[in-house]
């Protein structure tokens, strides 16, 4: 680790990043950019985003905190924070290999073998190999430990049987992190699970696209029907899969740092909705002139800034007492719920035109907010629904009893 940069060094770095982004931000595509990695549904979307991630990586702006020997930058975290905030500010596209950068990568770096780190990390950063996640199964949406997929060891291989569902990027991924049952005789459902870095492009793995409520495609169902994968894909020890998964979940829920950085989705800012409220009219006058609309917009702005400032406050440990983990644990819940409410509100400002949808030439911003409202549920449902998040926070942060 290098030393902490001075304020001047950081300011200079911020300027450099800003300039780079101004010069290198990808041109707006002709088609509608997905709202997040979970919405990537066509080849052209995928390729455009893959190219963008590679460009960011090659500029040295991704995986900045990861070890140099695996392709990372070996820098302190504050540099990546600067990059991420500048990318949000510049509203450039998100990183397509998000599961690799945020969840699979950190897990491999924490618990993987030296061979695994060398094998997977560099290609992951370069978006050369895309990752997806196989935790949910059709009968077990939230109850991950109840995985029914089986993995049977046969020589140097494991044979997989079962189905994973809600797999974002399932059609493009090279690897899937997944939980499978290697032993059914354990005393509880938590025993006998193993964690694999499973290749997707082997025989007997079949992905079926699932159509989302927006009408678009985005995720898949993945069937493993006797697929054979090398035993070297096992991460950690056989039977210790639940503990590995908990590590991944801690990364996913933001309770642990160590992600490679980059944007997870194009953030929706209150100021964009304000801009719309200044543009569209409600009953003949700009929506922004309605005092009730103003009151609600201000409230959204307060909450947005409150959450943003929480991230800042975390940098001064003395100001995080008595709940140092509250902010990282609550970020996903608060931000995804705020986004859902803000999208719904943004739609409502459009008057009769709120009924238009993407593709209609007269829809405001091509129906961006209408679609974004629907897509907002992917974050309030996926990765542990808001209800599950509240259980977790209530129990782990507030110390309340389990239900």
292 touches a second copy by CB under 8 A: yes
252 is catalytic: yes
**Cβ-based nearer residue to other proteins, 141 or 239:** 141
154 touches a second copy by CB under 8 A: no
> 3-state DSSP call for residue 368?
helix
Tokens encoding 105:
């990568």
Q: Select from 41, 23, 25 the least CA-distant residue to 33.
A: 41
Which stretch of DSSP H or E encloses residue 394? none
Q: What angle do CA 217, 218, 223 make, to 5 degrees?
A: 100
Per-residue contact track with other proteins, 327 to 366, x per CB under 8 A?
x--x--xx-----x---x--xx-xxxxxxxxxxx-xx---
Query: Which of 263, 288, 346, 372 forms a contact with other proteins (CB under 8 A)?
Result: 288
Q: Select from 42, 8, 231, 219 the least CA-distant residue to 134.
A: 219
Q: Select from 168, 159, 287 the least CA-distant residue to 217.
A: 168
Q: Name which of residues 294 to 323 contact other proteins (CB under 8 A).
A: 294-295, 297-299, 301-310, 312-313, 315-316, 318-319, 323
| Smallest separation (angstroms) from a second copy to the CB of 104 | 36
Q: Select from 193, 285, 203 the least CA-distant residue to 244.
A: 193
Query: Which of 211, 232, 237, 246 forms a contact with other proteins (CB under 8 A)?
Result: 211
156 touches a second copy by CB under 8 A: no
290 touches a second copy by CB under 8 A: yes
Q: Respond yes or no on whether the N-terminal peptide bond of residue 267 is cis (omega within 30° of 0).
A: no
- Which is the catalytic residue, given 137, 216, 252, 304? 252
**Ramachandran region of residue 204, left (φ > 0), alpha (ψ -120 to 50) or beta?**
left
| Smallest separation (angstroms) from other proteins to the CB of 384 | 11
Q: What angle do CA 279, 271, 257 make, to 5 degrees?
A: 155
Query: Which of 24, 42, 140, 191 forms a contact with other proteins (CB under 8 A)?
Result: 140
Binding site partner of 206, from other proteins, a second copy, none, Cβ cut-off 5-8 A by kind: none
Q: Name which of residues 155 to 184 contact other proteins (CB under 8 A).
A: 165-166
Q: Which residues bind a second copy (CB under 8 A)?
A: 290-292, 295, 403
- Catalytic residue list: 252
């Amino acid at each position: 680790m290098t030393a902490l940069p001075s304020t001047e060094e950081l300011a200079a770095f911020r300027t450099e990043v800003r300039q780079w982004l101004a010069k290198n931000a990808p041109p707006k595509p002709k088609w509608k950019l997905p709202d997040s990695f979970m919405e990537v549904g066509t080849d052209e979307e995928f390729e455009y985003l893959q190219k963008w991630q590679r460009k960011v990586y090659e500029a040295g702006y991704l995986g900045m905190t990861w070890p140099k020997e695996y392709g990372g930058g070996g820098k302190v975290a504050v540099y990546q924070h600067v990059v991420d905030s500048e990318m949000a500010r510049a509203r450039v596209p998100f990183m397509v290999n998000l599961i690799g950068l945020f969840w699979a990568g950190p897990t491999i770096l924490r618990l993987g073998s030296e061979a695994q780190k060398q094998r997977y990390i560099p290609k992951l950063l370069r978006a050369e190999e895309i990752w997806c996640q196989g935790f949910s199964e059709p009968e077990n949406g939230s109850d991950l430990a109840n995985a029914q997929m089986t993995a049977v060891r046969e020589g140097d291989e494991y044979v997989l049987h079962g189905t994973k569902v809600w797999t974002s990027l399932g059609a493009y991924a090279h690897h899937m992190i997944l939980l499978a049952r290697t032993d059914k005789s354990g005393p509880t459902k938590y025993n006998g699970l193993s964690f694999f870095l499973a290749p997707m492009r082997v025989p007997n793995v079949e992905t079926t696209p699932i159509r989302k409520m927006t009408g678009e495609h985005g995720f898949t169902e993945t069937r493993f029907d006797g697929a054979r994968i090398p035993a070297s894909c096992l991460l950690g020890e056989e039977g210790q899969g639940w503990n590995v998964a908990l590590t991944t979940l801690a990364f996913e829920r933001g309770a642990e740092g160590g992600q490679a950085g980059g944007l997870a989705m194009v953030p929706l800012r209150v100021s964009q909705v304000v801009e719309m409220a200044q543009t569209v009219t409600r009953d003949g006058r700009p929506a922004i002139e309605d005092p009730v609309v103003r009151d609600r917009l201000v409230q959204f702005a307060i909450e947005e800034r409150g959450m943003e400032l929480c991230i800042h406050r975390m940098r001064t440990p003395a100001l995080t007492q008595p709940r140092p983990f509250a902010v990282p644990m609550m970020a996903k819940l608060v931000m995804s719920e705020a986004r859902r409410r803000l999208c719904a509100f943004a739609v409502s400002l459009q008057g009769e035109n709120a009924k238009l949808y993407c593709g209609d030439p007269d829809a405001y911003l091509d129906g961006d907010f209408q679609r974004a409202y629907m897509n907002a549920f992917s974050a309030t449902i996926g990765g542990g629904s808001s209800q599950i998040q509240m259980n977790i926070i209530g129990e782990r942060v507030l110390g309340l009893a389990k239900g």
